[in-house]
Structure 1
């Protein structure tokens, strides 16, 4: 009976790892052979995806609940914020306005997956683009519609999401669960 439990436990771990590896950004795809506005912007977003993947990989409940001070967000609240930023980024590339709505409750795994999909979708659209000026950030509310050029994506939601990935890594270290140091952000690969 003990052997069956051990085997089932190992199968569960292998299954979870296989599902996790199917998410985008376990590693960054090969770089483009040409430099265009679209390929450069996509590579910046790919870097965000890789950092987010490894910042959030293997987080435990106690990591998600960690808050460095009463004035700070928890790790999970920070992840919620990154999810929101990823929606602004992908909506820009989909040419959709950002409209505040009541958010559905998602599990951490669902938030993580959706954030990675949003990031990958945005990067793929930009990679194929020649003209980034068509990807405006649009906010729509009861006071009107507000548009910002793609430039604001760089210093706004993309830069902010990168900043917060660093916070998640810092928080998880503080809660006793450092990220996988074999994930090399310089090359976008996992060292063996």
Structure 2
């Protein structure tokens, strides 16, 4: 029930916010103690902050850019990060990942917003937890559910998404639109 209340609060807050009020412009809080939940939440906050700035100010030109014939375009990389963020938020919400679900096609702006909101929702839920053993990754299929321990969230979708944020920065630089130098990733703040 507690996680449902957090989700509803996040949805209500996000629905009242415009595109300019997406989470992770800055990392706004330090947690008071170090627990499994607060450390994981801070990892997610770092991901959110990096993704926010790797995707801020992108134009149509960058969306279709790719470094090589075999590589992903910028927008394909964002789409991949979206899938990773859904795995993470589903784990935090204790919901299975169901490959049978057909998600609607989203614009770049909608994908960006969903990723940032998924990361924020997962962070908000997990920061209150001390034991993450109940937040497994569950993949639902016709053959039955495959349950994977939370550990795999860290070295899997969370770190994979951080990796791909670096790729987004490189792609946009190569396309002629380098990331702004305003964010300080060490401090989680924006320089004036």
Q: Same fold (TM over 0.5)?
A: yes
Provide the residue aligned with 2:56 in structure 1: 57
Query: Distance in 1 between the 2:142 and 2:28 partners?
Result: 41
Count of residue correspondences:
175
Provide the residue aligned with 2:187 in structure 1: 187
- Per the normalisation by structure 2, the TM-score is 0.89
Cα distance, 1:182 vs. partner? 1.0
Provide the residue aligned with 1:95 in structure 2: 94
Find the residue that maps to 2:133 and give its secondary structure: helix
Q: Which has the higher helix share?
A: 1
Which sits farther off after the overlay, 141-150 or 51-60?
141-150
Provide the residue aligned with 1:149 in structure 2: 149
Find the residue that maps to 2:126 and give its secondary structure: helix
- CA gap of 1:119–1:134, structure 2 versus 1, over 3 A, is same
> Over residues 82-122 of structure 1, what are the superposed CA-to-partner deviations in whole Å (9 max), with x where a residue is unaligned?
00000000000000000112231111111000100000000
Cα distance, 1:29 vs. partner? 1.6
Matches within 5 A, 1:15-54: 19-54=18-53
Higher-Rg structure is: 1
- Per the normalisation by structure 1, the TM-score is 0.89
Matches within 5 A, 1:157-168: 157-168=157-168
Counterpart check, 1:113 vs 2:116: no
Provide the residue aligned with 1:85 in structure 2: 84
Provide the residue aligned with 1:130 in structure 2: 130
Cα distance, 1:180 vs. partner? 1.2
